[in-house]
Every structure is written in structure tokens, then in C-alpha cells.
Amino acid sequence: MAKDYYATLGVRRDASQDEIKKAYRRLARELHPDVNPDPQTQERFKEITQAYEVLSDPQKRQMHDLGGDPFGGGGAGAAGFGQGFPFSDIMDAFFGTASASRGPRSRARRGRNATIRVELDLAESGFGTTRELVVDTAVLCEVCQGSGAAAGTHPDTCDMCHGRGEVSQVTRSFLGQVMTSRPCPQCGGYGSVIRHPCQECSGDGRVRTRRTIKVRIPAGVEDGTHIQLAGEGEIGPGGGPPGDLFLEIVERPHAIFERRGDDLHCTVQIPMTAAALGTSLSMETLDGTEEIDVRPGTQSGQVIPLYGRGVQRLNETGRGDLLIHVNVETPLKLDAQQEELLRELSRLRNEERPPGKFTPGQQGFFSRLKDAFNGR
């Protein structure tokens, strides 16, 4: 009585090739001799392998459905593997990778990403700007439109692999006669050969050129920020999709302001008389000229804040602050009249021999930690 290979694999008679393959993989993982060396299990493994060999081949499957003998007497399948059984399906049963590499691969591949350094002033990075950038990159060849073939020609089907992109070799192993596949050495796995390459791109499907693109730099970027421009990179070989273009922001140092996140910092030096009596200063900020009010009695090290005068927050509303650090200058040289005036002021304030206020010095972290353990 003829074998029912559908029952052997546990699939319906109208099962698709994908369902047949999945059923075989599942059984092969359970019954493979390396997993179950039992003789009965090995015989069962040969049966499912023979069934898969028949049902995975359209011609043999049709012959089986008509009641014929797919092996013409059964000699080829007696050892458990027919002539040229695809060994990659067994490997795929365990690793799940062989079937993905079958068939010709496309000549079109994604292009590489590119990175451009963009230098900005503080105002440009803080408030945003628009730049026109010149980019040297690969673009689609207009002569062959990415095919790589000369005008009026097209890639020919490879006569070694007949368009499959791979060649097979039958060998013998402990499993019997098996077939292994590898990329075709003549076409490189593409399944076709360009016999007449395009003279413009030499068969690559792309050419290098210089182009200008206009990009918008958002407000709030800072030194080291990367901006991704999707699809603005190089066109891929064979007319493949382009990669991305990344802009690396480089912020030039400012003559007055130091940026710390969204805040700006600067230092102003004023005489001690101005600090004592108070004054006003004109200062150029990123928003124009600002009048700075220095209150009487301002001490060295004090900070005068200008809220909302920093840079724009990236992808948010609002701005940082401008923080002005005050440094009070003590005069180094005095003439006789100035010295006499200061001495008179010192007498009036009873500061000729000030007692002074001594405070403990700043301790480092390890000194404080040592004192804590010593109970001080």
C-alpha cells in the first residue's frame, strides 16, 4: 500500500508549502538522531524526511497525489534521503536561518549615512537659524536609473545558477546524500550578470556629485547636538534607498557669555566705590542693550539675574536666564588725596583697626568624613 506522506507529517492534503515546512521542522527537532539515538526514532526520522522530500517538491507531490511512486521504485528514498535532498532545510529546522538566504539577492542596497559638522554662533544655536549646506554625496545615475546597465541593455540571467542566485552541490554525510547551497560565484548571488555596464556609473547605479540643501536648525541646540535628516544621505548601490544625513553642531565660543545648558553666565568687574554706592551699567545681551542695576552694598561674588534672557529651551517653551557674576575691584595704587579721603572714611566708619571676622575654612569631603568618624 502506498504511503500517505501527508499523514506522516500530520498535515492536510491541501497544506501550503509553508505549513509543510513548519511541520517538518517541528518533527525534525524532536526526532533527529543527534537528539534521539533510539533506532525506532531514527526510522521515524527517515520517514518524515522522505515525506518532506516528496511534499516539498511540486513534481513529486503531484505524482504522489495521483497515486504514483515519486521515487520510481523507492530506491532513492530507501536511505532516508533522496538524490539531492536539501540539507539546508535540516539546518533550518535547528537554526531557522537557511531558508532566509535562498533566492537571488537584490542589487539595490541602502546607502550609507553621512555626518556634517555645522559651526554656529551662540545666537544661532540659541534662537535657531537656516543654513544652506553643500554636500558631496552619491546620487542616482540618471543614465541607467540605478540599474547599472548601459542604455538599451539590461542585466542578463546568470547562465550558471539560472537566476536562482545560488548553486547546489550534492555530498555524502552520516545522514546520507545531502545537498548544500552557496551563493553563485559568477553573479555573486544576484541571479543576473551586467554584461554591458553603464559608462556613466560603471555599473554601480549611482554617481558622486555636489548638491546644496537648505536645513533648518532648531532653537536651543548646543555643542555636540546631532540632528538627523532622514533620507538625505547617500543613494545606495543599485539605486537603493538613501541613508540619513546627520548634522553635528559645533558652537563657537562667545566673547562674553559662557553657556551652561539653557543659562548664560558672564562676569562684570566694578570699582569698590560703585559697589558701595550702587550704580547702573549698560550691557549688550543677545536681545540688545540692557540696563543693569547694581544695588548699593553689592559684594564681590554676588549674582545679578536677568530672568528669561538665556537661550531658548530645545523642543520646549521658555528660555533660560542670564546670570551676571559681580567682581568688586580694590584699587592697588592711590594718590595722596585719594588716600586721605579713604582714611577719613575709615575714621568716620570706625574701621581704622577692624576686628575682622574669622570663619572656619572649607573642608574637603574626606576631612569631613574623618571628623564624622572621630565624633568631632
- Could you report the per-residue pLDDT of 71-109, keeping only the tens digit for each? 754 443 433 444 444 545 555 554 444 444 456 888 888
Q: Which span out of 42-51, 150-159, 165-174, 344-353 was modeled with the highest average pLDDT?
A: 150-159
Q: Could you tell me the residue range of the domain that residue 334 belongs to?
A: 258-348
How far is 236 from 353, CA to CA, in rounded Å? 82
60 with 53: CB under 8 angstroms? yes
Three-state secondary-structure class, residue 92: helix
Task: Return the DSSP state at 347.
Answer: H
Let me know if residue 163 belongs to a domain.
no
Annotated binding residues for Zn(2+), as ranges? 141, 144, 158, 161, 184, 187, 198, 201
CATH number of the domain that residue 93 is part of: 1.10.287.110
How far is 338 from 349, CA to CA, in rounded Å? 17
Question: Are 118 and 247 contained in the same domain?
Answer: yes
Structural domain total, the chain: 3
217 with 123: CB under 8 angstroms? no
Let me know if residue 292 belongs to a domain.
yes
pTM (two decimals): 0.60
- Could you report the per-residue pLDDT of 174-211, keeping only the tens digit for each? 556 666 778 898 888 888 999 999 999 999 999 999 98
What's the pLDDT score for residue 323? 96
Let me know if residue 315 belongs to a domain.
yes
Q: Which amino acid is at 181?
A: S
Question: Are 278 and 317 contained in the same domain?
Answer: yes
Return the number of other C-beta atoms located less than 10 Å from residue 296's C-beta: 10
Let me know if residue 353 belongs to a domain.
no
What's the pLDDT score for residue 96? 46
Average pLDDT, the chain: 83
Question: Are 223 and 317 contained in the same domain?
Answer: no
Element (H, E) at 63: helix 58-65
Mean pLDDT value of segment 227-252: 91
What's the pLDDT score for residue 308? 94
Copy the grid coordinates of residue 211.
548638491
Residue 292 pLDDT exceeds 60: yes
CATH number of the domain that residue 205 is part of: 2.60.260.20
Let me know if residue 161 belongs to a domain.
no
Annotated binding residues, as ranges? 141, 144, 158, 161, 184, 187, 198, 201
Let me know if residue 274 belongs to a domain.
yes
- Smallest CA-to-CA distance from 133 within 232, 240, 11 is with 232
Question: Are 243 and 265 contained in the same domain?
Answer: no
Phi, psi of 363 (to 5 degrees): -95, 150
Copy the grid coordinates of residue 359.
570663619
What's the pLDDT score for residue 26? 86
Copy the grid coordinates of residue 23.
511541520
Question: Are 225 and 146 contained in the same domain?
Answer: yes
Number of residues assigned to the chain: 376
